[in-house]
Amino acid sequence: MCGIVGLLVKNQNMRANIGELMLPMLIGMTERGPDSAGLAIFGAPVDASARKFSLYSADASLDWNKLGSELNAALKTSAKLEVKVNHAVLTTNVSPDTVKAWVKQAYPQVHLLAVGQLMDIYKDTGTPAQVASRYDFSKLSGSHLVGHTRMATESAITPSHAHPFTAGEDWCLVHNGSLSNAHSIRRKLEHEAFPSRPITIPKLPAASCNGACVKVTICKPRWNMALTSWMVSTPC
């Protein structure tokens, strides 16, 4: 059992307060998800040639400034780094594949949470109120967001198991519930050449969001064979 919240702020004058507006919604889902919490926030886009990388380190003592300096020297760039506790948002015009390869080799303990021009992801263990306070959710600004509170059912309580997950550039996914036939569905999708990745045993995808609007769905296009499809979309 988990809690899912979504907020689209159409009034541009109120977008600076989206974090404050969202906070009571997220904390209100505590009983449905007291183990961990997180959100994906969509703000102003970076330059067309640039990308933002949401990074996470389980080691709170990681020297993010050192990471940034070493990346700039190795990739001959001038990346911008914004640090919040054990999360950081790296902005650079270096290609995503190059940045991913460098981080994996130089800092294998650092996890890449998301890539895009609009979206940042923050997630961690703790109650929604604790996570929100840790990362100053109330001060976030943007046009829309998707939040999640988790009650673990079949897997561990860790930051990597917290939601949202990423499903592509500027695309996040959260879910609620479990599939009892997850392995048979995976075998079926693999047989249909659906790409398989070493992720948590799949559960029912319940909410996803791209850069255009907040959408709620339990189906990705390639999964139509296995899951009933429906969608509820807010006006864009």
Task: Report the alpha-carbon distance of residue 187 to residue 210 in Å, rounded.
Answer: 28
Task: Report the alpha-carbon distance of residue 159 to residue 156 in Å, rounded.
Answer: 9
Tell me how far the alpha carbon of residue 196 is from its chain's centroid. Answer: 19
Clarify whether 2 is annotated catalytic. Answer: yes
Q: Catalytic pick from 2, 172, 209, 219?
A: 2
Sign of the Cα torsion 69, 167, 174, 142 reads positive
Q: 185: part of which helix (H) or strand (E)?
A: helix 182-191
Whether omega before 164 lies within 30 degrees of 0, making that bond cis, reads: yes
Provide the annotated active-site residues.
2
